[in-house]
Amino acid sequence: MRHALELVAVSPGIGGVLLRGERGTAKSTIARSLAALLPAGSMRTLALGATEDRVLGGLDLEATLADGTPRLMPGLLAEVDGGICYVDEVNLLDDHLVDLVLDAAASGLVRVEREGLSASRRAAFSLVGTMNPEEGALRPQLLDRFGLCVDVRGETDPAARVEVIRRRLAFDADPDAFIARWATGEEALAERLREARALVARVELPQPVNDLIVDLCRRAACAGHRADVVMAGAARAEAALDGRPVATAGDVEAVAELVLAHRRRAAPPPGAPPAPAPQDPDRPG
């Protein structure tokens, strides 16, 4: 989960990350903690009842009447530029709104067409969506548009579960001391993310790395080409996080499952004979 969020923080154009999993596994907590390390240092939550005007922006009626020309009122996505847009229970959000948010996350722009007003605003935000599969599925068309996907489960190791208890109790007892204890590590991570964001656009993908990406996506029987493009972007982000200007096969392997987890389809191997047609049981053999 942390790995996927770091990749999206470095390269928001990957298209966001979907965290699928059971309740109480700190999905929203880790998103908030990452937001504090981003340029804007903010996280905005998109409520299930949000309207299109609230998300994208709309006509500022008061300013328009005062000036006599259409004026745009920024929406939530423009407000979160440089931070995190968090969508809890994204599977329960209206499909049209999910589409709009995913478009903006991938393009880095919010486009508004309202009452004769046409405008675009920059919105380079990192998208984090969460869902509990027990509460309903996300349509395959929308699921595919999330760049990365992680299936989150609670810890099963007893020692790790004890450590969760200890850290939570330590925070409750003295939040300031707890935060100070991890401040140096957080500052180092913030600097690492800053350097990676400055480098990622210059990271090269050699031909053998591109060939590996295509091979992995073909073997996973992914529909279309989105998986290839996302995996290339994620591999560049992985290399940038390590401070390297050239992506390697190891970078691809490190991000492949995050890209393929929600896109992999069952398919016969290339060249396999077609399955025999079902026989009519009433037809004599």
CATH architecture of 201-260: Orthogonal Bundle (1.10)
Decide: 97 and 111 in contact? Cβ < 8 Å.
Answer: no
Residue 235 to residues 131, 161, 181, 228, 255: CA-CA distances in angstroms?
Answer: 25, 32, 32, 11, 6
Report the C-alpha gap between 108 and 30 in whole angstroms: 23
Under 8 Å between Cβ of 59 and 117 = yes
Reading the chain (285 residues) residue by residue, the pLDDT tens digits are 999 999 999 999 898 999 998 888 888 888 888 888 888 888 889 888 888 888 887 766 666 667 766 667 778 888 888 889 999 889 888 888 888 898 888 888 888 776 667 777 888 888 999 998 888 888 888 888 899 999 999 899 999 999 999 999 999 999 999 999 999 999 999 999 999 999 999 999 999 999 999 999 999 999 999 999 999 999 999 999 999 999 999 999 999 999 999 999 865 445 544 444 444 445 444
Structure tokens at 264: 């992999």
Of 116, 149, 142, 159, which Cα lies nearest the Cα of 5? 149
CATH 3.40.50.300 segments of the chain:
2-152
pLDDT of residue 272: 44
Q: Which of 223, 222, 220, 250 is nearest to 234 (CA)?
A: 250
| From 20, 197, 226, 263, active-site residue | 226
Rg (Cα) of the chain, in Å, rounded? Answer: 22
Q: Where are the alpha helices (DSSP H) in 124-279?
A: 140-143, 158-173, 175-199, 207-219, 226-241, 249-260
Q: Which residues of 42-78 are buried (b: 16+ CB within 10 A; e: fewer)?
A: bbbbbeeebeeebbbbbbbeeebeeeeebbbbbbbbb
| Contact residues for 94 (Cβ-Cβ < 8 A; gap 6+) | none
Ramachandran category for residue 262: left, alpha or beta (phi over 0 → left; psi -120 to 50 → alpha): alpha
Cβ atoms within 10 Å of 124's Cβ, excluding its own: 19
Q: What does the chain come to in residues?
A: 285
Q: What would the CATH number be for the domain defined by 2-152?
A: 3.40.50.300
DSSP-derived letter for residue 34 is H
What's at 36, amino acid-wise? A
State residue 279 phi and psi, 5-degree precision: -90, 150
| Catalytic residue status for 44 | no
Residues of the chain with CATH 1.10.8.80: 201-260
pTM: 0.83
